[in-house]
Amino acid sequence: MTKQARSSRRRRVPVRTCVICREAKSKRELTRLVRVDGEGVFVDPSGKRAGRGAYLCNAAACWEKAIATTALDRALKTTLTEADRDRLRQAAAEVAGD
């Protein structure tokens, strides 16, 4: 394959699914949450932190439902503590402020 043919190819855009609304979007449009063993659940702005991840879209309704239900618990294979839920509430307020 020639150099010109390689450069004209389109790059693949990673697609992920929101764990609440199940809508598939590009990875950049979603927010990654990560479970770190022994530390809890955190928002991962870089999308590269080691740990089990799950994605939420930036809709306030998805964040509220994720915090209130066990859907995020199932996706991350853990039980969210009250400290985890507080961190997620703060992150939800920041996302809604964008």
| Measured CA angle at 65 (ends 26, 20), to 5 deg | 35
Predicted confidence (pLDDT) per residue in 15-47, tens digit:
999 999 999 999 999 999 999 999 999 999 998
Residue whose tokens read 């929101």: 18
Q: Are strands 24-26 and 15-17 parallel, antiparallel or unpaired?
A: antiparallel
Q: Which residue has the higher pLDDT, 91 or 2?
A: 91
The pLDDT, as a whole number, for residue 10 is: 86
Judge whether 75 and 66 are in contact, CB under 8 Å: no
How sure is the predictor about 97, in pLDDT bands with cuts at 50, 70 and 90? confident
The pLDDT, as a whole number, for residue 98 is: 64
User: Taking the complete model, does pTM exceed 0.95, yes or no?
Assistant: no
Radius of gyration from C-alpha coordinates of the chain: 16
Separation in Å, CA 26 to CA 18, 23, 42, 93: 10, 10, 20, 22
Q: Identify the CATH assignment for 12-97 out of 3.90.1150.10, 1.10.3720.10, 3.30.1230.10, 3.90.400.10.
A: 3.30.1230.10
Predicted confidence (pLDDT) per residue in 43-92, tens digit:
999 989 999 999 999 999 999 999 999 999 999 999 999 999 999 999 99
